[in-house]
Structure 1
Amino acid sequence: MKIAFIGGGNVATALISGISQSPLPPEFIHVSEPDEGARRTLEENFPVTGFDNAPDAIRDTHCIVLAVKPQVMPQVLSEIRGRIGPGQLIISVAAGITIEYICRELGSEQEVIRCMPNTPALIGRGVTGLIAGPGCTPQHRKFAERILTAAGEIVWVKDEKLMDVVTAISGSGPAYYYYLTELLKEAGIRLGLPAEAAEKLALYTAQGAGDMAVQSHIGIADLRRQVTTPGGTTEAALDRFKAGRLEETVFRAIQAATERGRELSHIGDSQ
């Protein structure tokens, strides 16, 4: 089955990277990317056929992946309106853009699955939240899973409003982990470690802790407690985190990202 990606940015590249791990002919994946340099880079790195416009890219494909920024979505939907064939599945990865909005802009009910992947999909270790629109069949869901599990894990939700929370936690989440890793590195440097050593310690601690949490049969809180000796160094650091109300700060940060996603959906609905 042929897939057309509208947009060749980070999210599309992450998904294409995951899908193309299995041998595929270039005609299997179409990519619409107006920037010639970006389009050429995709064609050089992946088994794809590039197009400079969306209508040509979606022709004779079975699935259309809308991988553009929310602000660009109205233009893209206008370009492909009336050009979508019966049974063509639409997968949207645009933050805040609702299934209802996509169908309204296309002028008809369409089979739409809204999802939010994240950039670790570039190495096949992403996680994607999904919700299926009312017209989607089990076959549509299964096809979406085939595409997205190539890039990592998937999580289905039943209420579309929760997609803004999914975006806040996992879509934006890699940046939070990068930021914490930056802070650990900078703390090490301020306390006397060479920059290279501080970075390596921070990076591999993050990687190892994440892998251990995923593979462990006990909960994350239990893993934390295993490392925390009463009166020890870990407890001293965690006590300072608690004194600084880190839990509340994290909640407020996720809440802010969630609210921004909802604002984007209102922007789309008002257009």
Structure 2
Amino acid sequence: MALTDEDLREAASHRGLKLIKSRRRKPGVGDFGLFGLADASGKSLFGVGDDGLTATADQIAEFLRKGEASTWAASAKSTPARSKPGPSRDATPEDEDAASAIRPRRRTSSRASTGQETPQRTASADVEPAAPARTKRPFSEKHPTRERTAEPKREPKAESEPELVIRVARPADADALRNLLEPAGFDGSAPDMERAITAAAARKEPIWIADRGGVVGCLAWHIVPTIRGDGMARITLITVDEGNRRRGIGRALYEMAMSEFRKRKVQVVEAMSDIKVRNANGFYRALGLKQASYRFAIDI
């Protein structure tokens, strides 16, 4: 699978590098579609020539993979080998000989030392079985209650994140939607947004919002009639609060829209990409959409 510009930029950032992308917008002109790499200070490292950028996306990815592998190998070589555990300093001779059995002691008569014969006795009368040896237990085993360690403090359970809900926008969401869209260039008032929500619902093309304990994203759309007679679905706006991006919210809104388009038997889906929204094109490409044309506009 081909890496997107955002994938390359993120991979370079993890290596402490900066991705440089050609500013050419016309295929076949200069270094269109090529890339380069620079360090944190801006010094050129790879794919930067006198006439512009020279590296393809695959070459950039290969360079970053080689850098990652070499860093891993150097880290492995610098890690000292783990030494084998030696005998414990607290070990005693008694511990080392614990496996040996304690043999019973045989009683001998004092007459044997003088050479005098002793009368024969039965084995039961001559040898007494030794009592089982008693081993000293550590103080902590005798009195386990006297050695107590402090119980670790229990951390309070983290509150679970509110569930993400994709729902139809209501007039009561007007102020929250206005605040969400203001960074993207919306300069209308809350009443303006309320009228837009009501008008979209009347057309049966409602605005969908992502709600996670509050409005964190929205998607607007409508059906465009075509000369062939069938309809074309157009996503006119999709945005997610900057602090909640890269968490699947935009994709959830998109999948909701696609489900509605399939119900309406739509054959083509078009997505509007505002150049003011950072990485909007990369987001659409990640969803599987392909650039089909240029769009030109003018305010009248």
TM class by smaller structure: under 0.3
The two structures have a TM-score, normalised by structure 1, of 0.24
Indicate the structure whose relative CO is greater, using CA pairs within 8 Å and at least 6 residues apart: 1
Structure exhibiting the larger radius of gyration computed from Cα positions: 2
